[in-house]
Homo-oligomer: A and B are copies of this chain.
Amino acid sequence: METKIFDMKNMKQYDEPANLLKALSHPVRLCIVRGLMRKKKCNVSFMQECLDMPQSTVSQHLQKLRSAGIVATERNGLEVNYILANERIAHIVTILLGEEDCEHE
């Protein structure tokens, strides 16, 4: 039982987590997630302004995060507010970015 640790049979169990990470693994999306960890709630125009990139680009990144279940939306009139949907992700990003200043050049 302990021999087949890298077993192909159980490979499918890694598809979901790998997709989660893939959705996270882009500087802009990481920045958005980090921002939402601090700001809690934010609409698209605000992000677009801060990030200084075309609206369609920002929106596409948001859709990618959304379909991975990382963020969720709340409509408020014309605005759509984004919030973090997944505490696990916040936890991971904390670990990922947290140690940055200690062990880096």
Contacts and interface: CB of A to CB of B under 8 A. Distances in A.
Contacts of A47: 6
Given A14-B27, A18-B27, A25-B25, A51 B96 contact: no
A97 interface: yes
A52 to B, nearest CB: 5
A11 interface: yes
Q: How many copies does the complex hold?
A: 2
A60 interface: no
8 contacts: A5-B50, A8-B50, A8-B53, A10-B31, A17-B100, A21-B96, A92-B95, A95-B95
A13 interface: yes
Shortest 5 CB-CB distances between A and B: which pairs?
A21-B25, A6-B50, A14-B27, A22-B25, A6-B35
A24 interface: yes
A22 B24 CA distance: 8
A22 B30 CA distance: 11
